[in-house]
Amino acid sequence: MDPLADTLRRLREAFSAGRTRSPEFRAAQLKGLGRFLQENKQLLQEALAQDLHKSVFEAETSELLMCQNEVDLALKNLHNWMKDEPVAKNLFTQLDSAFIQKEPFGLVLIIAPWNYPMNLPLVSLVGALATGNCVVLKPSELSKSTEKVLAEVLPQYLDQSCFAVVLGGPQETRQLLEHKFDYIFFPGSPRVGRIVVAAPAKHLTPVTLELGGKNPCYVDDDCDPQTVANRVAWFRYFNCGQTCVAPDYDPRRSPSLGRVRRLRGLLGCGRVAIGGQSNRTSAPSVRGPRPARPREQGPRMGTGRSLCSPCNGRRPKPSSFDDEPPPGLFCRPQVVTQMLHQTSSGIVGGNQGFIHLTLSTLLLGGVDDGIGRYHGKFSFDTFSHHRASLLSSSGLEKLNELHYPPYTAHSQKLITWVLGSHRCALL
């Protein structure tokens, strides 16, 4: 017996019955998620401290607050986001109703990574709930304390006929991916992303992948070195350096910085040029002698022209330019403009780290290192099927007779004129 079969059948039955479609139900689910965040703040902070040694401040700013902001934004705009979107019409359809309808996909699977074990699954969950989908959430087994809270506490705040948490490691995840879902969302590593996108291909299931890319950081010659050092060090050390747009390791003693204890083995793969001290935690380290990839090189000095070349060459396009086109562009406005016009990346941060990730109004998504986008309304759009709709009257048949053969010279000329010279009239 497949232990997942009953769970998935229950969720599909709830969706087929239309339980999740009303704006009232969606709002109730979002409010439940908001209460989960508010009423279990200390429990969540303790779980994040156990998993990643996150300080209360970092847990609040990088995980809990960002999730709450997404909930608040979705509740504030839910009715507006759900509205049909009218589109321009041509002369043939002036008496018809043409619009884009946003409808839920159905049964959605969200697979979460370990580096932001609360932020990444719950920010995407907001979008899935707001669009009226039923959801299976698979937390990371590597963040055991957070996984436990998500599995045992979160379902108490949501309708369990429409939401489920599935636990397990890689083997269980592969078994989960054997089932048919209507949409799959995964923010994590490219290695796992390849598995996630390949498994549902037999079902033609649409997938969003938000993966970690290589992120150069460009520092112009005339920047203030101390300012750049402060900002680059902050966003590279934040969250143990385990952010898709700013990875690095941590100093040993700071109570404000997290810990990743599985990195020790990586330091043995090559000569350590700088740092390398490791006990229970790892100091900031640079490995050698193999040529570093863009993100491993750290800040790069040079002209805008010299940096545009590697960013547009054979390497994958970066996730961020601050580190991506560079994720970080520390330079004059004219150089920023040059980089924006001559490079491509998922996001761009000028003269800062990854503060852009705190804005729900800006999308998060890659070019070569991902498929799709999310955050705020972009999450709502991602988890919605956009259905093109044209509703015509059953009467007015005389007007429609123009479309029917046999075509006269006059009707052909008129149809060509309508579809050619007047393709779309403004609404």
Whether 134 is catalytic is no
pLDDT recorded at residue 309: 47
- Domains identified in the chain and CATH numbers: 5-212+376-386 (3.40.605.10), 217-368 (3.40.309.10)
State pLDDT tens for residues 137-177.
Answer: 999 999 999 999 999 999 999 999 999 999 999 999 999 99
Q: Which of 244, 311, 324, 331 is catalytic?
A: 244
Name the strand (E) or helix (H) holding 208. Answer: strand 207-211
Residue ranges of the chain with pLDDT lower than 70?
Answer: 1, 212-216, 240-241, 243-331, 343-370, 421-427
pLDDT recorded at residue 49: 94
pLDDT recorded at residue 346: 62
SS3 219: strand
pLDDT recorded at residue 27: 98
pLDDT recorded at residue 375: 80
pLDDT recorded at residue 91: 79
Whether 269 is catalytic is no
Q: Which of 58, 70, 147, 210 is catalytic?
A: 210
